[in-house]
């Protein structure tokens, strides 16, 4: 499955977000979408309006950028999976490096959220990736493998079909520094092999593996052309409809 997911992060007011969605859908035709599954992840404040705006576009899913692992309770400021489900939200980003770095999210917490998302029938988009320091010391696979091991410890092969893995080297997120297609492919191939061993060959080939980190219209074709890269998780370039549509074109024709 090819997938292009836009992570808007803490950007756009609700009005600006709806204008961005309008610009996006105005540029779409069934031919342009092709076989690509599109996902947008606006801030919590515009999820419901986004779901409503996209009623007529079943090929575009709406994702939350985070969630709490508990269904309800005294967790001031948090949003639960049943709340998201009730809004018809389809997916949730989990373990984004900004959540890990700035909000101290641990692998175990991410695993609990992933378990809760599967229980709520909301598809997790699990982000993994190493820091620059970890890559420089040659530990990138050790780090990514550990993140995968903990997050997916409690997941069956059937459930894994609904999990998307996004490889996002931390040093490439929002920095303009992009992994080379070879670096990205090498990590994706390792993740695919690991998934095959952890689950089975069918599951590993069905699961979408996305690359994320400074994907732009001018570097997308080379990344999306790699064998084990099924699409992208896009930050900055998802905030401009023209850029996101250009990435869609690159992925569709990859
Ligand atoms: C991201 O936030 O997941 C991301 C990949 O950001 P950017 O495309 O801006 O590097």
Burial class (CB within 10 angstroms; exposed 0-12, middle 13-18, buried 19+) of 58: exposed
Distance separating alpha carbons of residues 114 and 222, to the nearest angstrom = 31
pLDDT of residue 53 exceeding 90 = yes
Domain range annotation of the chain: 2-253
Atom 8 of ligand 1, nearest CA residue:
235
Average pLDDT over residues 213-233: 97
- CATH homologous superfamily of 2-253 equals Aldolase class I (3.20.20.70)
The alpha carbon of 83 and the centre of ligand 1 are apart by a number of angstroms equal to 26
- Which of 235, 237, 240 has the most ligand 1 atoms within 8 A of CB, as the residue to mutate? 235
pLDDT of residue 173 exceeding 90 = no
Band of pLDDT at residue 176, cut at 50, 70 and 90: confident
What pLDDT sits at residue 195?
98
For 98-108, what is each residue's pLDDT tens digit? 999 999 999 99
For 118-162, what is each residue's pLDDT tens digit? 999 999 999 999 999 999 999 999 999 999 999 999 999 999 999
- Which of 39, 224, 236, 237 has the most ligand 1 atoms within 8 A of CB, as the residue to mutate? 236
Band of pLDDT at residue 82, cut at 50, 70 and 90: very high
Answer whether 236 contacts ligand 1 (Cβ < 6 A): yes
Distance separating alpha carbons of residues 38 and 32, to the nearest angstrom = 11
pLDDT of residue 179 exceeding 90 = no
Average pLDDT over residues 44-49: 98
Burial code (b: 16+ CB inside 10 Å, e: under 16) for 75-100 equals eeeebbbbbbeebebbbbbbbbbbbb
What pLDDT sits at residue 223?
97
Indicate which residue of 37, 46, 68, 96 is catalytic: 96
Answer whether 213 contacts ligand 1 (Cβ < 6 A): yes
Look up 96 and say whether it is catalytic: yes
Average pLDDT over residues 9-33: 96
pLDDT of residue 174 exceeding 90 = no
pTM given for the model: 0.96
What pLDDT sits at residue 175?
83
The alpha carbon of 184 and the centre of ligand 1 are apart by a number of angstroms equal to 14
Q: Residue 171: helix, strand or coil by DSSP?
A: helix
């Amino acid at each position: 499955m090819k997938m292009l997911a836009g992570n808007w992060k803490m950007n756009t007011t609700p009005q600006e977000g709806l204008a961005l969605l309008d610009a996006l859908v105005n540029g779409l035709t069934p031919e342009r979408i092709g076989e690509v599954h599109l996902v947008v992840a606006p801030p919590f404040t515009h999820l419901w309006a986004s779901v409503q705006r996209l009623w007529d576009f079943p090929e575009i899913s709406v994702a939350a950028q985070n969630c709490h692992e508990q269904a309800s309770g005294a967790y001031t400021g948090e949003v639960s999976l049943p709340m998201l489900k009730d809004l018809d939200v389809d997916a949730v980003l989990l373990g984004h490096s900004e959540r890990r770095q700035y909000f101290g999210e641990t692998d175990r917490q991410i695993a609990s959220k992933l378990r809760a998302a599967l229980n709520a029938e909301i598809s997790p988009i699990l982000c993994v990736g190493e820091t620059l320091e970890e890559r420089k010391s040659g530990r990138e696979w050790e780090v990514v493998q550990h993140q995968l091991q903990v997050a997916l410890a409690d997941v069956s092969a059937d459930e894994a079909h609904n999990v998307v893995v996004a490889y996002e080297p931390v040093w490439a997120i929002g920095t303009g520094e992009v992994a080379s297609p070879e670096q990205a492919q090498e990590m994706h191939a390792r993740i695919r092999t690991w998934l095959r061993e952890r689950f089975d060959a069918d599951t590993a080939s069905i699961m979408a593996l996305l690359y994320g980190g400074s994907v732009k219209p001018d570097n997308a074709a080379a990344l999306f052309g790699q064998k084990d890269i099924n699409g992208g998780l896009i930050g900055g370039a998802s905030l401009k409809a023209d850029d996101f549509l250009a990435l869609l074109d690159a992925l569709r024709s990859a």
